[in-house]
Every structure is written in structure tokens, then in C-alpha cells.
Amino acid sequence: MVTGAAGFIGAAVAERLCARGDEVLGIDSLNDYYQVSLKQDRVAHVRAATPDAFAFKQVDFSDWEALSAALEGEEFDSIVHLGAQAGVRYSLENPRAYVEANLMGHVNLLEVARHRGCAHMVYASSSSVYGGNDKLPFSVEDRADHPVSLYAATKKADELMSETYAHLYRTPLTGLRFFTVYGPWGRPDMALWLFTDAILSGRPIKVFNHGEMWRDFTFIDDIVSGVVACLDNPPADDGEEKAGGSVKPHALYNIGNHRSEKLTKVIELIEQACGRKAEVELMPMQPGDVEKTYADIDAIQRDIGYQPTTSIEQGIPQFVKWYREYHGV
């Protein structure tokens, strides 16, 4: 089962799993945080690519009764829990949405994994848990208890609840701290989409912290390879210390590109791919945002063999090409 299957990463993971011969039940609430049509198009894209292997149900996994009813009679041996209320900035406007989806929803999925005896649940955490840490690159061994947004706080809470379930019920769990994922079928609330849309429309782009921003941009294909590899390698219940420090069957990994790119360089690559210059509006830092992210991926490389291969010079033109085809511009 893949949650958030209409989302950017969820749809891509579902498609990859189906393509290799797995049968996937995708669930998603199709909420309107951004345009529902894009979510529906992602589901249709996965269905078209793998019609016999993919089933989809619209359900809000933070509603226990609705989730239980939707899963009645369904069988699955593992879970990739990627559904969440996403976005750092929106958590300042609508905190309850994050508590419902990211806390109640996560507990519900832990309960499903526990009661069904699932072999493994891989779940989405976030690089935002590192908050204002200024030691770079971010390592899973670093303390992560000073979040600067509610979104980050909910993701850290998910890790703590997962540790409890791994301890009490020995459920094998792997949390993935994603770093700025981008690529075809991406999210409209993220910088790459916003910048591409504005440049192609001739509108100015807003660049925060006066352009002094660095992100570990990670291409979707590399992320999906990492998620699937983690799914195939559940942490052992052997009392040994796992990545992230747990001695339970619970591992935590950074999943990024292991390169921190300055935002102004990313803008230049988008300009090249669009064939036009950006009009830039320099803005101050936004509340809840951080200046730099940079993933130490030693643990996931060592344990899982994860190796990102796509540079932003390769990935950004692929995103812009997809964007233009999708919108017919």
C-alpha cells in the first residue's frame, strides 16, 4: 500500500513498484492544498502505465473509521507511507491540517502496520526536522529537537511515535528525511515550479533571503530508487544500533543528493531551459524557513547502496520540458 499515491513522490513510487511487478493499492484524500486536477492526472498517469497492477481509493487516512472501511478486504504485506500535509509555509496558516494528517494520520498507519503484521513500513520524514542546525551537512546522528516550523515538529513527532511502535510491537520501520525533491510531476508550491511558471509567464519571481539560500535538490528518479531500496531492506530486530541511533527495528536515513546548490544557480538553469531571463524580486527570509540544507547520505549509502546520479544540470531541463508539455506552453 502506498499512501499519498496522488502526490508527487507517492505516484512515482507507485509507478516504479508496479513496473517491477508489484501490485499496489494507492490511497490519497485528494485534498485541495494545491490543484486537485494535478493529483488526478498523476493517478491517471500511473493507471495508464500499469493498468493491471495499480488500484486507487480516495480516503482520508487521518479518519480511522473511513480508513478501516476502505481497507476492508484489501491485502498488502508492506506500506510506503508518503501521504502528509506538506509545505512548511502553509503550516503557519493552517496548523490543524498538519496535526490531523501528520500526527493522527501517522498513528493510524502505524496501527494498520501493527495489526496486519506488515513486514515493513517506510514513511516520509523531512529534512526540515534539522531546523536551525548550522552544522553542515546534516547527519541523522545530529540532534533534531529545535524545529522552526510546525510542519517540522509533526515530522519529528512521527519519528518518535515510530520509535515507540518499533519498541512495543517490533514493527520494522524506516523513516526517510527527504531533501528538496524535484522533477516531472512535481509540486506547484515548490520553488522550481513557481520559478518556471513565473518566468514563462513573464512575471517576477520572489527570491527569499535576498538569494542567500542553498538547497540539496534531489531528482525524483533518485528519490524513488532510494525509497524502493529501503522498502526491500527492512531494519533487523537484532538489538544492533541502526542509522539514527535506534536499537529497535527502526532506521532513519537522509535521502538527498549530497550537494547543496545555491538558489541563484538553480534560477540560472531554469532561465536556460526556458530560454528567457527571470525578473527577480529579492525578499527577506520567511518565517519557518532555513537558509541551508545539505544531506549527509553516508548511512543510506552504506546500508542500502543508495547512490543519486542526477545533477541539477541534468534534472532541471527535464522538469522544464515536462512542465511545458503538461501546460502546453
Q: What angle do CA 160, 166, 169 make, to 5 degrees?
A: 130
> What percent of the chain is modeled with pLDDT above 90?
84
pLDDT in tens, 69-103: 999 999 999 999 999 987 767 777 888 989 999 99
Sign, CA torsion 262/267/273/275: negative
pLDDT on residue 101: 93
Q: List residues with catalytic annotation.
A: 151
- C-alpha 133/C-alpha 291 separation (Å) is 10
Average pLDDT over residues 146-160: 92
> Distance of alpha carbon 304 from its chain centroid, rounded?
18
| Joined grid coordinates for residue 69 | 472501511
Q: For residue 245, name the pLDDT band (cuts at 50, 70, 90).
A: very high
- Chain-wide mean pLDDT for the chain? 95
Nearest partner of 3 among 86, 113, 96, 109, judged by Cα: 109
Assigned CATH for 2-180+219-257+294-309: 3.40.50.720
173 φ/ψ angles, rounded to the nearest 5 degrees? -135, 140
Range from 4-8, 270-274, 288-292 carrying the lowest mean pLDDT:
288-292
> What percent of the chain is modeled with pLDDT above 70?
99
Beta strands 214-215 and 261-262 are antiparallel
Question: How many helices (H) and strands (E) in the chain?
Answer: 12, 13
pLDDT in tens, 284-311: 988 877 888 889 999 999 999 999 999 9
The whole model's pTM is what? 0.95
| Joined grid coordinates for residue 90 | 502553509
CB atoms closer than 10 angstroms to residue 18: 21
- C-alpha 191/C-alpha 146 separation (Å) is 24
Q: DSSP readout, 67-122?
A: HHHHHTT---SEEEE------STHHHH-HHHHIIIIIIHHHHHHHHHHHTT-SEEE
Sole residue written with cell 509507478: 15
Burial class (CB in 10 A: 0-12, 13-18, 19+), 303: middle
Q: For residue 25, name the pLDDT band (cuts at 50, 70, 90).
A: very high
DSSP-derived letter for residue 129 is G
